[in-house]
Amino acid sequence: MYIKAAAGISPQVSFEQILQSPASYSGNRLNCAEPDYTKLIDARMIRRMSRIIKMGVAAAKDCLQQGDVHDPGAIITGTAYGCLADTELFLSKMIENKEELLTPTAFIQSTHNTVGAQIALMLKCHNYNNTFVHRGFSFEGAMLDAITLLKENAVENILVGGVDEITDTSHELLSRFGLYKQHPGANINLYEGTSKGTIAGEGAAFFLLFNQPSGNGYAKLDGMDTLYKPSSSGEVAGFIHDFLERHNTRAEDIDLLISGENGDAHNDKGYKELKKQLFVNVATQSFKHLCGEYPTATAFALWLAANIIKTGKIPAHSKMKAPKKILIYNHYLTIHHSLYLLSAC
Amino acid sequence: MTKPVSIAGVGVISAIGNNVQENLAALEQGKAGMTKMEYLSSAHKEKLPVAEVKMDNIALAALAGMPAYISRTALLSAIAAKEALQNAGIQSLRGLRSGFISANTVGGMDKTEDFFADFLNDSGKGRLRNLVHHECGAATELVADMLGIKNYVSTISTACSSSANAVFFAARLIKQNILDIAIAGGTDSLTKFTLNGFNTLMILDQQYCQPFDENRRGLNLGEGAGYVVLVSDKVAKALTQAPVCALSGYCNANDAYHQTASSPGGTGSYLAMKGALAQSGLKPADIDYINLHGTGTQNNDIAEGTAIKLLFEGKYPKMSSTKSFTGHTLGASGGIEAVFSVLALQHGLIYPNLRFETQMKGLPFAPETVFRKGEKIHHVLSNSFGFGGNCSSLIFSKLQA
């Protein structure tokens, strides 16, 4: 399976910017650096779109343009929260107006499949279209659908992506659950210190997956796997060990480990243990200081990994030689664990 | 053509019954589930009939073996999923790679609504307990944890076609040897959010709906959950009872016409049905019964009907919309209708399309109006079409001896 194109909208302007000097943030909320949408989406469509729809559709369009694909064999989206802004809008109006005098627009755009549907509508693409909405496995669900659909030989290529947004309300509510740091400091120092909580993030990343290599692609995707609610750190280690063995890879073959620490001491404990246990001499690159923590952050990690393999440049290790094999390991709030193995193609 | 995946059992809860037996009895007796709103609290109580599951959350929680404060969506899901496993004769999942793939459209919105009313008054207020299961995936996890399913959990949301996608995704995971057994389908409870949303679109019928009728006025919303148990050949052989039938074909296509409306020609519906037939290796004439999406809206029924007219030209199978019994259960509808399709094959049943009076002018066929049993049914087509142009069709077939 090959990643022919990758496009992302994130709190970072571009991969090049991450290499030179990542955008710095001091609060506990990293919003996307949104592009000029008029370059990617018809102005008449932009006006009707909420922010998450614009981010998703623009990332998808960018990806398709890179890959020179006009009619993807499938469009598969992962989103944990869906279209929050429209959901809140309709819900608030419904409560405030006591269920009277409501208009349908926000409701219509609140359904979780809106991003995938709008991409299909923009492309007039009648092909397979699916949306996964499973918390920290939303993007992984979309990826497994894509991988198994390609294996079924039903299609030649697939557009697959992950997208989630922060709204003022969602940030306020997730803060009440104690998810975020109260005194975050600079994002670049996210992993220092022992304070509780992380920083919020958001983003949209889309990929074009092909069964066959195309010559000018980003990377080969060797495999992806998930582990739900492990009962011990030993179970996580076993999961990673088995995954690598299944792909005939030893830990020392990994040139770079991209790992999902989010700055919360309790949350990050598992990453530290694993690095000591399995990846002693492996170079590592964290990513949540760049994109923040959110359920589909692995889509950003995959975008980062694909760019690192394609360019041979690693943000955290400017002098290291180009990596041939990258492993991504992430867990979302210790519940949803995922692995991605990529190699140079 | 790909290999069919065996279905070992089914479970369902809807406005016409709390289990398979009760649903079958209501289908046979022609008893619809729509009534005046009793459990959902809404300003539209007097005006809009709904098809509610006839139990409050406390009773549902007792049946589900779960706490009553969690979302009704999760409670409904748990009841139907548990029945599906029992119905399949599966005592234990030990040693099996098991998955729970469930669909829904608004997750724990029924509880979020309560939270939000307090929160809008004072942003420090609102019980977080009512918000913690808001995400669509939360209901799936609550039920998977209760069933002891750990290897794979996933949630799909493509509006009204959600759970049809869950069913074939599960089948694909079994075919590719990723899972041995999967419970797949969907759940949705009635919420003010969806009721008001559909109401703003002016597609809710203030009377009981009349799908595929010339004078149809719209849909009635319903709630419930429906699941099928899909198993690998190895598991099928080890079961004490033979599998009921198989999922022989499926297809997902997009109408790519409008965010909420179907194209007049039913392009997405046509492609989904045609693709499912191609995958199963069947001809249109092989289909014995179509469980229609048949919501009762002007737009859906003419689009779906036009697609059927084109695909089945000259030889139309028997067909009906069981939404005339259950209402439109949104994220659960594909699951509930998959269960009804399996039962149709298992018992040789054709379900009536209740309240049908006048054939649609543009269509050369009409739905069935009487319950029939002892019919020879080998292949059933089940349609699920939704907002966002998401169209999916499933074909269930008798297992070849």
**Chain B positions in Cβ-Cβ contact with residue A243 (cut-off 8 Å):** none
On the question of pLDDT at B327 being above 70, the answer is: yes
Residue of B nearest to A142 (CA): B156
Token pair of B399 as six digits: 């297992």
Q: Which of B124, B115, B154, B118 is nearest to B138 (CA)?
A: B154
Do B219 and A82 meet the contact criterion of CB atoms below 8 Å apart? no
Query: Which residues, at least 6 apart from A334, have a Cβ–Cβ distance to it below 8 Å?
Result: A267, A270
β-partners of residue A340 are: A224, A328
| For testing contact with chain B, the best of A1, A79, A91 (most B CBs within 10 A) | A91
DSSP label of A251: G
As annotated, the active-site residues of B are 160, 293, 328
| Cα separation, B338 vs B284, whole angstroms | 19
- DSSP secondary structure letters along A63-112: HHHHHT-SS-SEEEEE-SS-SHHHHHHHHHHHHHTTT-S--SHHHHTTST
Share of chain A above pLDDT 90, in %: 97
Same domain? A231 vs A147 = no
Range of the domain at A43: 2-210
- Residues near B31 by Cβ (< 8 Å), separated by ≥ 6? B16, B25, B325
Taking residues B34-52, report their average pLDDT. 98
Of A75, A329, A325, A333, nearest to A226 (Cα)?
A329
Domain boundary residue, one of A210, A231, A253? A210
pLDDT digit string (tens) for B75-120?
Answer: 999 999 999 999 999 999 999 999 999 999 999 999 999 999 999 9
The CATH architecture that domain B248-397 belongs to is 3-Layer(aba) Sandwich (3.40)
Can you tell me the distance from the alpha carbon of B83 to that of B88, in angstroms, rounded to the nearest whole number?
8
For B122, residues 6+ apart whose C-beta sits below 8 A from its C-beta are none
With CB atoms and an 8 Å threshold, state whether A95 touches B120.
yes
Do A179 and A228 belong to one domain?
A: no
Total tally of structural domains belonging to chain A: 2
Distance from CA of B347 to the nearest CA of A (A): 32
Q: Is A99 exposed, middle or buried (0-12, 13-18, 19+ CB in 10 A)?
A: middle
Whether residue B390 and residue A151 make contact (CB cut-off 8 A), yes or no, is no
Percent of chain B whose predicted confidence (pLDDT) is above 70: 100
Residue A190, min C-alpha distance to chain B (Å): 26
ipTM above 0.85, yes or no: yes
Contact between B136 and A134 using a beta-carbon 8 Å cutoff = yes
Res B400 pLDDT > 80: no
Structure tokens at A287: 């990513």
Residue A181 in domain: yes
User: What is the per-residue pLDDT for B401?
Assistant: 59
Give the nearest partner residue to B123 out of A98, A102, A172, using CB atoms: A172
pLDDT score for B1 = 60
A188 and A142: one domain?
yes
Judging contacts by C-beta atoms under 8 Å, the chain B residues touching residue A120 are 254, 256, 388-389
Length reported for chain B = 401
Q: Which residues of B touch A131 (CB under 8 A)?
A: 156-158
Q: Which of A242, A247, A255, A250 minimizes the C-alpha distance to A325? A: A255
Q: What angle do CA B394, B176, A297 make, to 5 degrees?
A: 90
| Alpha-carbon distance B390 to nearest alpha carbon in chain A (angstroms) | 7
A130–B158 C-beta distance less than 8 A: yes
pLDDT, tens digit (0-9, with 9 covering 90-100), for B132-164? 999 999 999 999 999 999 999 999 999 999 999
Q: Tell if the CB–CB gap between A129 and B145 is shorter than 8 Å.
A: no
| B176 CA: distance to closest CA in chain A (Å) | 8
DSSP A135: G
CATH number of the domain encompassing residue A44 = 3.40.47.10
Q: Phi and psi for A82 in degrees, rounded to 5?
A: 70, -150
Same domain, A34 and A132: yes
Q: Residues B154, B299: contact at Cβ < 8 Å?
A: no
The nearest CA of chain A is from the CA of B255 a distance in Å of 6
CB B100 within 8 A of CB B227: no
Give contacts of B178 with chain A, Cβ < 8 Å: 144, 148
pLDDT at res. A54: 98
Cross-chain Cβ contact A108/B176 below 8 Å = no
- CA of A323, closest CA in chain B: separation in Å? 30
Q: Which among B96, B400, B326 is positioned nearest to B230, based on CA atoms?
A: B96
Residues A33 and A129 in one domain: yes
* Chain centroid offset of residue B366 CA: 22
CB half-sphere exposure, A70, CA atoms < 13 A: 1
Same domain? For A146 and A203 the reply is: yes
Chain A residues touching residue B119 (CB < 8 angstroms): 173
- The residues spanned by each domain of chain B are 6-238, 248-397
Rounded mean pLDDT, B371-378: 97
Cβ contact B145–A229 (<8 Å): yes
pLDDT attached to residue B314: 87
**Residue B183 scores a pLDDT above 80:** yes
Q: Which of B123, B158, B193 sits opposite A131 (nearest CB)?
A: B158
User: Is A333 found in the same domain as A309?
Assistant: yes
Closest CA of chain B from A46, distance in Å = 14
Residue B341 CA from chain centroid, whole number: 10
Residues of chain A with pLDDT under 70: none
**A322 CB burial (10 A radius; 0-12, 13-18, 19+):** middle
B129, B131, B156: best to mutate for the A interface, most A CBs within 10 A: B156
| Residues of chain B neighbouring A151 (CB-CB closer than 8 A) | 176
CA distance B25 to A323: 64
CB A106 within 8 Å of CB A169: no
Report whether B57 contacts B68 (CB < 8 A).
yes
Alpha carbon A111 to chain centroid, angstroms: 20
> pTM for the complete prediction?
0.98
Neighbours of B17 (CB within 10 A): 22
Cβ of A128 and B254 within 8 Å? yes
Task: Give the pLDDT confidence of B196-227 residue by residue, as tens digits.
Answer: 999 999 999 999 999 999 999 999 999 999 99
Residue of B73, B136, B142, B198 to mutate, interface with A, max A Cβ within 10 Å = B136
**Gap between the terminal Cα atoms of chain B:** 19
Tokens of B103: 């669909």
Q: What ranges in B176-320 are assigned the alpha helix state H?
A: 192-200, 233-238, 267-280, 298-311
CATH superfamily of the B6-238 domain: Thiolase/Chalcone synthase (3.40.47.10)
User: Does B156 sit within 8 Å of A133, measured CB to CB?
Assistant: yes
* Domain final position from A160, A188, A210: A210
Same domain? A129 vs A200: yes
Contact at CB, B158 and A113, closer than 8 angstroms: yes
**Same domain membership, residue A318 and residue A299:** yes
> What DSSP character marks residue A200?
B
Structure tokens at A204: 């949209």
Give the residue from chain B lying closest to A113, CA to CA.
B158
> Within this chain, do residues A254 and A190 fall inside the same structural domain, yes or no?
no
* A114 → chain B, closest CA residue: B388
pLDDT of residue A154: 81
Cβ atoms within 10 Å, residue B377:
24
pLDDT of residue A193: 85
Asked if residue A192 belongs to a domain, the reply is: yes
CB contact under 8 A, A129 and B158: yes
| A246 within domain boundaries | yes
Closest CA to B381 of B312, B328, B300, B296: B312
What are the chain B neighbours of A229 within 8 Å (beta carbons)?
A: 145, 150
Same domain, residue pair A329 and A229: yes
* b/e sequence B179-193, b meaning 16+ C-beta within 10 Å: bbbbbbbbbbbbbbb
The residue of chain A with its CA nearest to that of B114 is: A95
Which amino acid would we find at residue B358? T
Tokens of B2: 């790909």
**In B48-181, which residue ranges form alpha helices assigned H by DSSP?**
57-64, 72-87, 109-121, 136-147, 162-175
**Taking the CA atoms of chain A, what radius of gyration do you get in angstroms?**
19
* Torsion B369-B373-B376-B379 (CA) sign: positive
Q: Residue A26 corresponds to which tokens in the numbers above? A: 């001091």
Q: Are residues A126 and A256 in the same domain?
A: no
Choose one of A185, A210, A235: the last residue of a domain: A210
Write down the number of H helices and E strands in chain B.
Answer: 12, 10
Q: What is the pLDDT of residue B224?
A: 98
Q: Are B256 and A125 a contacting pair at CB < 8 A?
A: yes
Alpha-carbon distance of B153 to B140, in angstroms, equals 7
Residue A177 inside a domain? The answer is yes
CA A184 to chain centre: 22
